[in-house]
Amino acid sequence: MSTKIFAHRGASKQAPENTMAAFTLAYQHGADGIETDVHLTRDHIPVLIHDEHVKRTTSSTGYIKDFTYRQLQKLDAGSWFSSEFAGLRIIPLDEFLEWIYDKPLYLNIELKNNKIDYNDLESIVYDRILHYDLLHRTILSTFNPRSLNKLNYLNRDINTALLTTKRGKNLVSAAQELGANAVHIKYRLLNQFLVDKCHHEAMGVRVYTVNRPRQMLRCFAVGCDAIFTDVPDRAIRFRNQFTN
């Protein structure tokens, strides 16, 4: 099976990350799936943004957890990238799910709970996915092992993945013990032995963030299940060359 291409935060090289513009572009470019990051507002609304803090990607400052959803809606999440995208909003998870519902795309929702402990993040996100009947094409990933336990407790059939930046002999067994179905690894951790070991254990292995052609080709060659890339159009071009 060929390596799937997930647009990392959408087509985030050409449009501001985690906005509808970046998601739409990824879909137009033919990505197989979209990766996005979720946090909770003060009033417990799941919203799509990478950082805990709004400073880097909006017109304001402060932690997501301290804003109400209404307050967040007033921020400009596009201008930092380019004036062409001025006025884009931070979107709620629901808007994304509503948009993706009728498109043939996989979803990887990364629960951003490794720095801030959003107590109910797992159950809130799970509930929204069920509401849109998207469980069969959703992967929930996290750097937080406790979060994987919580997801398992909610439903053992959720497709989950342990994110890691660290090399470790026991990565595969640790992920298995946490009930994860896959590991999502940083590119520098990639090697053929790890891919084979994962597949031998019926675990998926997906790699981030893969933007260079040489890295893409290596991921395809060793048989990664998916890559996360800021440039899905480039990845699709190289995958076509690789498979033909």
User: Where do contacts with Mg ion occur on this chain (CB under 5 A)?
Assistant: 37, 110
The pair of structure tokens assigned to 217 is: 């080709």
Q: Of ligand G3P, Mg ion, none, which one sits near residue 4, judging by CB under 5 to 8 A according to partner kind?
A: none
Among 21, 25, 29, 37, binds ligand G3P (CB under 6 A): 37
Determine if 163 is a binding residue for ligand G3P (CB under 6 A).
Answer: yes
Segment (H or E) for 177? helix 171-177
The pair of structure tokens assigned to 20 is: 């509808």
- Known catalytic residue at 44: no
CB-wise, 149 or 164, nearer to ligand G3P?
164
CB-wise, 37 or 122, nearer to Mg ion?
37
Determine if 208 is a binding residue for ligand G3P (CB under 6 A).
Answer: yes
**Nearest approach, Cβ of 180 to ligand G3P (angstroms)?**
13
Please list the helix, strand and coil fractions of the chain in percent, rounded to the nearest 5, in that order: 40, 20, 40
Residue with the closest Cβ to Mg ion?
Answer: 110
Strands of 77-181, DSSP E: 106-111, 138-142, 159-164
Angle between helices 93-100 and 20-29 (to 10 degrees): 20
**Nearest approach, Cβ of 209 to Mg ion (angstroms)?**
9
Please count the helices (runs of H) and the strands (runs of E) in the chain.
Answer: 9, 9
Determine if 27 is a binding residue for ligand G3P (CB under 6 A).
Answer: no
**Which residues are catalytically annotated?**
8, 50
